[in-house]
């Protein structure tokens, strides 16, 4: 009997024995292609010798030193590297141990910033209904999934939610993509005005929506208008790139492709690439200075923030992404995979949409392609696909959910950047078998 408390308590999971490149291998020797990279984590695949060596090297020097007493070489070098490539005026990095912690820190930083500059009434957060920002209570409060939030209500952060920018279902036939983007962004302005601008501290969004929607980018122009609206009302823009950041969408930071820079940026998953638990929150100099010149103490922290071994892993990962030209590779392989998905599933009666950027791709599953009628939730097709794909030796990330109140099952693909051209066929073949088994 296992004494590990699994999330799905009824699941019987195989033991993972090894990782090799794009594959995970269980204790019986079965190989699984890591087609979702552990939810967009394993961008370098498994067993990268450079990252492993960097971690070992740091372990030999010093594994842990509390940040109340010391900073460390890898933390300083990683912060420098991130800032050198970060969009806009981002200028300071606060290291944490994962995505929820990065979002939690971002929300608390926004709040403390307004307290420090004498605007204590700014405490509300606006987010989007189609969003996941993490599972700690603050991050959960920001996220849009009602069913995740409900058991823990009332949550501490006062959050209200607007629609996502989701062209496939929400664009009207009589409007262009540009008009739709404007209309979707203007929901933020309406919400700020409804709440009263003086009470709103931040808007938080994922540039490309991951787990809750299956790699949905916004239409062109949407985030630029969001940026303008935030600026007009003195609201901070927090971008959550925990899943879509670190090269995943074919730019080191996803928001680069939207032409905007946030006031606060959250990253995690691909930063440690699964080698160490690490996340980070980047903020502008102005926000940092509000605390540095004010109380001088950020009212947030955990024992493991800025962990030297985690930072050493992050430094090796980001260096690998940059030095091995992996962002360009993501664009090339992402295009090849998207083409292959279109070729194989473009006319599939149950595939309504194939979307995404770089190696962050999603398939929307529908009951009928023409009407976009969602699948019957009672069929729980996403669960059947997950099981059938796993059986076929493909790890992918299917989710059932609602898209702005409407049912929307989807599959997320986020394979390692180090995959080869030949893996495109393997992914598409195994996915095809899973769809046949689940829908046939």
Q: Which range binds ligand PMP by CB under 6 A, 5-13, 118-126, 128-136, 427-435?
A: 128-136
Nearest distance from residue 274's CB to ligand PMP, in Å? 11
**What secondary structure, in 3-state letters, does 333-379 show?**
HHHHHHHHHHHHHCCCCCEEEEEEECCEEEEEEECCCCCCCECCHHH
Between the CA of residue 155 and those of 75, 160, 292, 301, 402, what are the distances in Å? 33, 12, 29, 20, 21
Question: At a CB cut-off of 8 Å and minimum separation 6, what does 49 contact?
Answer: none
Please state the closest distance from residue 211 (CB atom) to ligand PMP, in A: 5
The bridge status of strand 124-128 relative to strand 200-205 is parallel
- Smallest separation, CB 41 to ligand PMP (Å): 8
Q: Are 284 and 256 in contact (CB under 8 A)?
A: no
Candidate residues 44, 103, 271, 281; the one interacting with ligand PMP per rule CB under 6 A: 103
Binding range to ligand PMP, per CB under 6 A, among 96-104, 299-307, 325-333, 354-362: 96-104
304 binds ligand PMP (CB under 6 A): no
Span interacting with ligand PMP, options 12-20, 95-103, 343-351, 368-376, rule CB under 6 A: 95-103
Residues 6+ apart with CB under 8 A from 200: 122, 124, 125, 126, 192, 233, 235
Q: Which of 133, 169, 329, 357 binds ligand PMP (CB under 6 A)?
A: 133
Considering the complex, what minimum distance in angstroms separates the CB of residue 135 from ligand PMP?
6
| Residue 168, phi-psi category: left (phi > 0), alpha (psi -120 to 50), beta (remainder) | alpha
Buried b (16+ CB within 10 A) or exposed e, 211-244: bbbbbbbbbebbbebbbebbeebebbbbbbbbbb
Pattern 210-249, ligand PMP, x by CB under 6 A: xx----------------------------x-xx------
Max CA pair span of the chain: 63
Q: Closer to ligand PMP by CB, 98 or 314: give it.
A: 98
Chain residue whose CB lies nearest ligand PMP: 99
| Among the listed residues 94, 132, 253, 288, the single contact to ligand PMP using CB under 6 A | 132
Of 38-57, which residues contact ligand PMP (CB under 6 A)?
39
Which residues are 16's β-sheet partners? 26
Q: How far apart are CA 136 and CA 123, in angstroms?
A: 18
Q: For residues 272 and 58, is the Cβ–Cβ distance under 8 A?
A: no
- # residues near ligand PMP by CB under 6 A: 15
Closest approach of ligand PMP to the CB of residue 257, in Å: 16
* Residue closest to 36 by CA, chosen among 395, 383, 356, 427: 395
**Dist CA 350 CA 352 (whole Å):** 6
**Interacting positions 146-185 with ligand PMP (CB under 6 A):** none
CB of 350 to ligand PMP, least distance (A): 25
Would you call 132 helix, strand, or coil by DSSP? coil
State the nearest-atom distance from the C-beta of 397 to ligand PMP, in Å: 10
Please identify, using beta-carbon distances, which residue of 112 and 131 lies nearer to ligand PMP. Answer: 131
Locus of tokens 């509300």: 124
Nearer to ligand PMP, 82 or 204 (CB): 204
Choices 114-122, 127-135, 305-313, 408-416 (CB under 6 A): range interacting with ligand PMP: 127-135
Tell me whether residue 28 is exposed, middle or buried, using C-beta atoms within 10 angstroms of its C-beta: 0 to 12, 13 to 18, 19 or more: exposed
Smallest distance from the beta carbon of 53 to ligand PMP, in angstroms? 25
Q: In whole angstroms, how close is the CB of 246 to ligand PMP at the nearest point?
A: 12
154 prior amide bond cis, ω within 30: yes
Q: Which residues bind ligand PMP (CB under 6 A)?
A: 39, 98-100, 103, 132-134, 206, 210-211, 240, 242-243, 268
């Amino acid at each position: 009997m296992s004494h590990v408390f699994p999330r799905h308590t009824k699941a019987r999971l195989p033991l993972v024995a090894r990782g090799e490149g794009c594959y995970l291998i269980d204790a019986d020797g079965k190989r699984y292609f890591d087609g979702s990279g552990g939810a967009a984590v394993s961008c370098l695949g498994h067993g990268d010798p450079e990252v492993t060596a960097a971690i070992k090297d740091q372990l030999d020097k010093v594994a842990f030193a509390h940040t109340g007493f010391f900073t460390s070489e890898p933390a300083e070098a990683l912060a420098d590297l991130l800032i050198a490539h970060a969009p806009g005026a981002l200028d300071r990095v606060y290291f944490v141990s994962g995505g929820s912690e990065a979002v939690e820190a971002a929300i608390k930083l926004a709040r403390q910033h307004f307290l420090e500059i004498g605007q204590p009434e700014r405490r509300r957060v606006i987010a989007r209904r189609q969003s996941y920002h993490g599972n700690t209570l603050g991050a959960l409060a920001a996220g849009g999934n009602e069913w995740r939030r409900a058991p823990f209500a009332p949550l501490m952060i006062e959050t209200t939610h607007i629609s996502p920018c989701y062209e496939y279902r929400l664009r009207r036939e009589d409007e262009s993509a540009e008009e739709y983007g404007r209309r979707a962004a203007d929901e933020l302005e309406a919400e700020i005005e409804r709440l009263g601008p003086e009470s709103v501290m931040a808007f938080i969004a994922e540039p490309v929506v991951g787990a809750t929607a299956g790699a949905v980018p916004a239409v062109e122009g949407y985030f630029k208008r969001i940026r303008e609206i935030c600026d007009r009302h003195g609201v901070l823009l927090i971008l959550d790139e925990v899943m879509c950041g670190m090269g995943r969408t074919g730019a080191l930071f996803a928001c680069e492709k939207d032409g905007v820079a946030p006031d606060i940026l959250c990253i995690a998953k691909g930063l440690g690439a699964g080698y160490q638990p690490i996340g980070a929150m980047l903020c502008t100099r102005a926000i940092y200075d509000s605390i540095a010149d004010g109380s001088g103490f950020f009212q947030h922290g955990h024992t493991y923030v800025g962990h030297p071994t985690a930072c050493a892993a992050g430094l090796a990962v980001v260096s690998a992404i940059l030095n091995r030209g992996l962002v360009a590779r993501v664009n090339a392989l992402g295009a090849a995979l998207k083409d292959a998905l279109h070729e194989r599933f473009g006319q599939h009666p149950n595939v309504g949409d194939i979307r995404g950027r770089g190696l962050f791709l999603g398939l929307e599953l529908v009951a009928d392609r023409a009407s976009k009628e969602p699948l019957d939730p009672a069929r729980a097709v996403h669960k059947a696909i997950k099981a059938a794909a796993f059986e076929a030796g493909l790890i992918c990330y299917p989710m059932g959910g609602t898209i702005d109140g409407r049912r929307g099952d989807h599959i997320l693909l986020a394979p390692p950047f180090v995959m080869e051209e030949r893996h495109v066929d393997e992914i598409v073949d195994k996915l095809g078998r899973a769809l046949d088994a689940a829908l046939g």
